[in-house]
Amino acid sequence: MRIIFAGTPEFAVPSLRAAARHNEVVAVYTQPDRPAGRGRGLQASPVKLEAVQRGIPVLQPENFKSAISKDALRALQPDVMIVVAYGLLLPRSVLAIPQYGCWNVHASLLPRWRGAAPIQRAIEAGDDQTGVCLMQMEAGLDTGPVLLEQRTQIGANETGGQLHDRLAELGAQVLADGLGLLRVGLSPMPKPQADEGATYARKLDKAEARLDWSRPAVELERKVRAFNPWPVADAVLGGERVRIFEAVALGDEHAAEDGTIVGAGKLGIDVVCGEGVLRLTRVQRDGGKPVSAAEYLNARRDLLDFFAGRNLFPGEA
């Protein structure tokens, strides 16, 4: 089969490999190179790097508004277009070009978590399970009928990064299954999505990374896991901003004000929350690297002086 693959970040790379395994990928579409790093030099997307390594032609249009961009895609005569975290909306006129339309690999069990950040929002919301869907694309945002899906449990300690990597591989498997059926003339049966139960996974924003100590500890623990490795939850400890990579919710209750440190030692730094206590176990100072709470306290002995129930976070609750 002649396939066009459209994707941009690391999540899409396993799916590109799966698409290329038994099919002819005639072109890869990906976002234009963007400035990145300290030097702000132009950086190619992970999907572009994979395509170049495989010798697949790469196209990087800003959008599909022009007739030229649509004609270029049409000239490739694709049987199907695979879209995985591409980052561009495809107009109806593009969706109609491939013989079998456009398929999307989406990292949630639709209609749960339509939108930009389904992996992190599932952890943040406390979902027990998630998965991947192979969806027949239509004009709406992640509203198309589902062709195939795979479910998986979310681990109790699983981070956004770990779940991202698992779902990237699971998505590639589902895509391979769908393409395998299509090659033998058995196109997967589309199952319409129900609007009931649909939720929207809004894009992650650094501004939401600051922990609000008035919230329950279990909620903050999920946020710490979901936002690891980006944007990474943060807080102010004794006047210093730290990024929090790992934390554990404790059921302990304290009368102290929200945001008060009530324990600090080898096991972590315990902070009072609206409900329960959050134990910070891995943190990072500005300019430093992530370290255990014990290592952090060795460098911040002054913090222990606040230990007797003093509020270290004025104005931060």
List, as residue ranges, the binding site for (6S)-5,6,7,8-tetrahydrofolate: 108-111
Would you list which residues are annotated within the binding site? 108-111
Whether 105 and 84 have beta carbons less than 8 Å apart is answered as: yes
Contact 268, 248 (CB under 8 A): yes
Cα angle: 189, vertex 123, 237; to 5 degrees: 160
The amino acid that residue 125 corresponds to is A
In the three-class reduction of DSSP (H, G, I as helix; E, B as strand; rest coil), residue 181 is classed as: helix
Assign 3-state DSSP to the chain and report helix, strand, coil percentages, each to 5: 30, 30, 40
∠ CA(296), CA(287), CA(161), 5° rounding? 80
Q: What are phi and psi of 133, to 5 degrees?
A: -125, 140
